[in-house]
Structure 1
Amino acid sequence: MALSLLVLTDFFQAANRALDYATSLAAPLGARLVLLHVRGSAGPAADALTNLSPDAVGLALNCLADELPVPVVAEVGRGPLPPVVADALRRHHPALVVLGRSDAAEASVADTALALLRESPYPLLMVPGNAPATPPQRILLAIDGEPFTLGAHAGTARRLLNSLHAQLTLLHCTLVPASEEALAAAEDSVLRTGLMIDLPPVRSRSVVAPHPAAAILAAAQPTEFDAVVLVARRRSFWGQLFHRSVTAQVLQRCPLPVLVLPASE
């Protein structure tokens, strides 16, 4: 079955940059794009064409789709963003959800991403406004040292990394110094997911930091990496303290595209 990428658009510059980035990923994946514009939502995905009829918005969306060099399905949804996206996920089963982040609205876009993760825990790619529209070749995978699985999304995550054939660097973020055995166990947990299959030799780093988000952001330098992958556990974006989570902080501030992979409980 061919893969698809669900791309959210509001016709603003950040969304267009995310669409360009998704298009660059679709080619090596052999994937199609599902271009979704949601009318009547709030926040960074709010309708940019409020005064136009649904037909006019649909026409604008189709014109945008016609300019792309990959297969595209264009849709217009109405209502709050999370349930509309959840419905699209059920119908299209994409490999991941893609949305753009502008510097002017970084906090609100991070909130939008967390709302989507709460409604439908699904791989989510946040693309900052200055990201080049080229597939990443140097990927930083941040892990906390605890075992994890990716459940139903493991296969598509492996397919994405394998198709890119990128250089993967594991960043072990721990609150206290970890033993060699603990670091080996952390790397083994990644190995068991299959994410490292058929990739170039994986590199590894270890950092002790009281604030893991700050450590990840410090490591995620555009001179060294093209993208960041986070394994987000339920406690990272659920509950009253979700706004303090590592996931939220990295999504809000990272200068690189960030792919969030929800861990399976």
Structure 2
Amino acid sequence: MATSLLILTDFFQAADAALNYATNLAAPLEARLVLLHVRRDSVLDPEMFTGQLSNLSREAIHLALSSLARDLSVPVVAEVGHGRVAFAVADAVSRHHPALVVLGRPDLTSTPDELVTTTSLDILRTAPYPMLVVPHTVRNSALPRRVLLATDGEEFTLGQFAGTARRLLNALRAELTLLRVVPQETPEADTAALDAVLRTGLTADLSTVHTRTVTAEQPAEGILQLAPEYDLVVLIARRRSFLGQLFHRSVTADIIRRSSVPVLVLPAQE
């Protein structure tokens, strides 16, 4: 089966940024794009409170999807889902088996944390899958050349997603830096982080792998401190990091919400 990237679109600015980014990413992966727009017309939809829902008619949605597809330089199919986004994404994933789910992060600066339910968390909870979140501020959709992979130094495996992650890193031919954030710097920090990742095979075919250790009380702060120096941040998300009741309490969520560069979330298998 050909590789595909599943792109969520609501025709807003953030979705356009994600689509541009994914289109460039599709070339080295030799992937097609699957455009998914989800009609969310329930008054119980949490994002009704954030103003992030499109109220286009069915005809307008199909016209907008057709227009997007015509302008793309890679193979593309378009679909319309219904109901909760997470369930529509889970259904599309089961049929298309994409390498990644890609979505844009809208401007949330004026939205209270209590109302930021976030589509990304809902998807991770419902159907954990490799996810690329592109901030609405990203203007440069060039392929990432400097990649920062944050790790806690503990053992992990990516299970069924290991092949996808390895293929993506190889296709990008990027310079990879492994980061560990510790409360107090120790000589063993870099070695522990490197060994944990090496055992997964993620770096097997990469020619350049660096390690860095940052001292910070909160892991998210250390990662966000270095993120602007890189083109892409990769997070190994353990289930405990996205199954919490409140999204804004998890490190994964904090970085997704605040990072100025795209964030690739790889769910660990535990």
**Equivalent residues of 1:110, 1:252 under 8 A apart:** no
Match of 1:29 in 2: 29
Match of 1:20 in 2: 20
Partner Cα distance (2:90, 2:77) in 1: 17
Match of 2:54 in 1: 48
Partner Cα distance (1:153, 1:2) in 2: 16
Moved more, 198-207 or 99-108: 99-108
Match of 2:89 in 1: 85
Kindly provide the CA deviation profile for residues 138-177 of structure 1, in whole angstroms up to 9, marking residues without a partner as x: 0000001111110100000100110000000011122344
3-state SS of paired residue (1:103): coil
One-letter amino acid matched to 1:174: V
One-letter amino acid matched to 1:240: Q
One-letter amino acid matched to 1:11: F
Alignment partner of 2:123 out of 109, 116, 119 = 116
Give unpaired runs (5+ residues) of structure 2.
Answer: none
Match of 2:79 in 1: 75
Partner Cα distance (1:120, 1:168) in 2: 27
Query: Structure 1 209/110 Cα, relative in aligned 2: closer, same or farther at 3 Å?
Result: farther
Alignment partner of 1:151 out of 155, 159, 178 = 159
Match of 2:176 in 1: 168
Partner Cα distance (2:204, 2:117) in 1: 31
**Equivalent residues of 1:102, 1:129 under 8 A apart:** yes
Moved more, 233-242 or 205-214: 233-242
Partner Cα distance (2:265, 2:82) in 1: 25
* 1:1-265 map, 5 Å: 1-40=1-40, 42=45, 43=47, 47-50=53-56, 52=57, 54-104=58-108, 111-131=118-138, 132-180=140-188, 183-221=190-228, 224-265=229-270
One-letter amino acid matched to 1:170: L
3-state SS of paired residue (1:115): helix
Query: Structure 1 143/92 Cα, relative in aligned 2: closer, same or farther at 3 Å?
Result: same
Partner Cα distance (1:63, 1:200) in 2: 41
Partner Cα distance (2:221, 2:10) in 1: 30
**Equivalent residues of 2:134, 2:261 under 8 A apart:** yes
**Equivalent residues of 1:10, 1:45 under 8 A apart:** no
**Equivalent residues of 1:138, 1:226 under 8 A apart:** yes
Calculate percent identity across the aligned residue pairs: 59
Partner Cα distance (2:40, 2:18) in 1: 21
TM-fit CA distance, 1:113: 0.7
TM-fit CA distance, 1:109: 6.5
Give unpaired runs (5+ residues) of structure 1.
Answer: none
3-state SS of paired residue (1:37): strand
One-letter amino acid matched to 1:245: S
One-letter amino acid matched to 2:164: T
